[in-house]
Amino acid sequence: MPNLRPPDQQSSRRHFLTQVGAGAAVAALPGVTVRSLLAADEAPAKPPRGTAEACIFLWLGGGACHIDTFDPKEKGDGKKKPGSAYDPIPTAIAGAQVCEHLKRSAPLLDRAVLVRSLHHDVVDEHAAATNRVHTGRPTSGTIAYPSIGSLVAHELPRRDSIPPYVVMGYPNVSRNPGFLGAKCGYLYLTETDVGPNGLTRAVDVSDSRQARREALLAQARDQFLKRNAGDTAIENYAAVTVEGLKLAGPEFLSVFNLKNEATTLRESYGGEFGQRCLLARRLVQSGVRFVEVSFNLNFVNGTGWDTHNEGQKNQHLLIDQLDQAFAALLVDLEQHKLLDKTLVVIATEFGRPPEFDGGGGRGHHAKAFSGVLAGGGLRSGRVIGETDELGKTNVRHPVSIPDFHATIFAALGINPAKELYDGQRPVPITDQGRPIRELFA
């Protein structure tokens, strides 16, 4: 009777039998077990490692338009013809162009990597997209995933009296430590000319008075811990209060005095956002592991990077501020011999489409957008990924958000496949993210 299986099934059956026979022959060799064969087959490739010891994460909240910044396309007319809003200029990366308003950064991009093929599936809601880019995962009803900053704080050694994780911007759940607990939370501030308000002692509190207060607090804390022995959340919170008191010392608070820097350097960084970037350099220099610098506190164009309608008209003001601060940060880190030790990331929750809305602005677009990685010992001066002629679809080397996170972790010497635990539940650091291997030596 003829074999009626389709040819592909016949081939699959022959391949299966061949593999089983080969496996049986190998297993018959001395010292070879089924367990060892499975372990060899499943052993993951050794993750690459960069040289970064800290990360400065520049956050363009609102959804920065990739085709108006780091992935320029043919120019549109602001009305019916889709395309970029600005002319392109060449960069230090051979064959790569960026928007004309990135003129300071363009000659320095040999220190950076343009990732032009980021993507995810959250487009309608800013909060959900922001959470996706910060945690690398969809929101879950059963587990509180930690932010990328909290994961870095958890994995890298921390320096005494220095917070591992600082956010310059308003508190937000997307930056939270999730199941890692309060010890991996962030210190936040909204002004660069003073330290966090909660760390500043009132002028009428002397050293002796402060010591009496701390002794009383320690007594109350110890009693409360005894009454709630075994409660991990309370223990973590108590540990954070102790660390917080250490942060109020003069060593850490001196980091916030930007007047210690030369006037010419401060001016090179530009305005509000630039001064935050300068402070970020001082923070990582002091031992902070992860600093998020949020752009979206001062909407000089009325809408920030969420350039619907009228917001598009003055988007160039935002790009110019980003350009000045980013270029100054790269040069400053390099002059302090910190660029290879610091990974600088530019990230946003999604991009914008090439089409213009009725007010001349743009909507949301998450299928293809851009990010930037600089320093950290990466093999820089290159472009990863490519979008189509309008920037709507990835046509080469798509990079998922988990892959982007995995690359950041690998640059910091953190294994992106390492498993942490939410109670008894194993949770890998990334959601099956894989580092962009060509960025590592």
**Cα 172 to chain center, whole Å?**
15
pLDDT at 241: 61
Which residue type, as a one-letter code, is found at position 402? Answer: P
DSSP string, 343-362: EEEEE-S-B--SS--TTS--
Lookup result for tokens 């549109």: 76
First to last CA, the chain: 58
CB-CB contact of 355 with 423 (8 Å): no
Tokens of 18: 């061949």
pLDDT at residue 191, rounded to an integer? 75
Cβ atoms of 388 and 395 closer than 8 Å: yes
Q: Tell me how far apart the alpha carbons of residues 397 and 394 are, in angstroms, rounded to a whole number.
A: 8
CB contact set of 221 (below 8 Å; sequence gap of 6+)? 238, 241, 242
Cβ burial, residue 401 (10 Å; 0-12/13-18/19+): buried
Q: For 294, phi and psi rounded to 5 degrees? A: -90, 135
At 383, phi and psi to the nearest 5?
A: -115, 135
Report the pLDDT value the prediction gives residue 293, as an integer from 0 to 100.
Answer: 96
Is domain 54-200+254-439 classified as CATH 3.40.720.10?
Answer: yes
23 burial level (CB within 10 Å; 0-12, 13-18, 19+): middle
**DSSP string computed for 14-79:** HHHHHHHHHHHHHHTSTT--HHHHHHHHHPPPPPP----SEEEEEE-TTT--GGGTTS--SB--SS
**DSSP output for 382-420:** EEE-EE-TTSSSEEE--EEHHHHHHHHHHHTT--TT-EE
The domain limits of the chain are: 7-42, 54-200+254-439, 201-247
Element counts in the chain: helices (H) and strands (E): 11, 15
pLDDT of residue 252: 81
Strands 394-396 and 419-422: unpaired
**Which two three-digit tokens encode residue 8?**
């592909």
CA distance 82 to 353: 8
Mean pLDDT, 10 residues at a time, over the chain (441 residues)? 42 46 47 46 71 98 97 95 98 98 98 98 94 96 96 94 90 93 90 64 65 69 73 65 58 87 97 94 97 82 89 94 98 98 98 95 97 98 98 98 98 97 96 97 87
Cα-Cα-Cα-Cα dihedral sign, residues 345, 351, 356, 362: negative
**Residue 23: predicted pLDDT:** 47
Beta bridge partners of 375: 343
The encoded tokens of residue 71 equal 């992935």
Q: Which pLDDT score, from 0 to 100, does residue 238 have? A: 62
pLDDT of residue 301: 77
DSSP 77-119: -SSSS-SBSS-EEE-SSTT-EEEGGGTTTGGGGGGEEEEEEEE
Helix, strand or coil for residue 332? helix
- The DSSP symbol for 248 reads T
